A and B are shown apart, each in its own frame.
Chain A
Amino acid sequence: MALTMLYFAWVREAIGTGEEQVDPPATVTTVAGLVDWLAARGGGYATALGEPARLRAAVDQTFVTLDGSIAGAREVALFPPVTGG
């Protein structure tokens, strides 16, 4: 299942890109699963995604919790807790 991944703030900096296409296996069905699958790449991915509790996510531009499904998703964003306002 081809997905567009977006990364923001220190997640983007650690991974070294703000956007990429990925193709996770069918066994990856949730945001948390996707985070683990990406973190297993090591390097900057492990640095950015190794502590899922520090991450927040959006699926197709809607905030979700990490146990949220990625079934049918086209775009998944991973980022730290927001700090606007």
Chain B
Amino acid sequence: MIRILVSPDRFDPGAETARLEAQDVGAVATFVGLVRGDGGLVEMMLEHYPAMTGAALDALAREAMARWPLKTVTLIHRVGALVPGERIVFVGTASPHRAAALEACAYLIDRLKTDAPFWKRERFADGKARWVEARVEDQAAAALWNTAAARPD
């Protein structure tokens, strides 16, 4: 089962975890990403490509399910204006076994950063604003999953 949500609305990690646990599994792994208040940041604006985002997230979830024995993948990504401390993203995986759940969860957040059409714009207390630049480290983390050493089998 795949659950994808792209919305300006807040989500409840407890309720999402409970959904994953209800799938008769042995292991649930979750990741929650939050807005950091570094450098006087007052707002993080998330822009996306509405016609494409859902399909892109669904494709990532399917790739994870093809690679690990997962019962469920949940991907939630917020859009719009967020303030420091707010949750941006939720990744949840449910599997019979912990290794699959943990690895797939890490894989999905790495791929979300490089393969889904979202853009972040930061606004600071001094009135300045800037588009966040893609990080080489994020590209490298996502690319690592393509190497043989990172494959579970």
Contacts and interface: CB of A to CB of B under 8 A. Distances in A.
A61 B121 contact: no
Nearest to B52: A61
Contact-residue size bin, chain B (C-beta under 8 Å from the other chain): 20 to 34
Contacts, number: 71
Given A80-B131, A85-B113, A8 B51 contact: no
Main secondary structure of the interface of B (DSSP, over half): mixed
Given A80-B131, A81-B134, A58 B49 contact: yes
B98 interface: no
Contacts of A8: 47-49, 117, 119
Contact of A84 (B51, B120, B131): B120
Contact of B119 (A6, A75, A79): A79
B89 A58 contact: no
5 contacts: A58-B117, A63-B115, A77-B117, A83-B113, A84-B48
Interface in A51-72: 58, 61-63
Interface in B111-153: 112-121, 131-134, 138
A84 B133 contact: no
Contacts of A62: 52
Interface string B73-110: 00001000000000011000000000000000000010
A9 B48 CA distance: 9
A6 B33 CA distance: 28
A83 B134 contact: yes
B2 interface: no
Nearest to B108: A85
B58 to A, nearest CB: 12
B46 interface: yes
A35 B46 CA distance: 25
Interface string A2-39: 00001011100000000000000000000000000000
Contacts of A83: 113, 118-120, 131-134
Contacts of B1: none
Contacts of B121: 9
A82 B119 contact: yes
Contacts of A58: 49, 52, 117
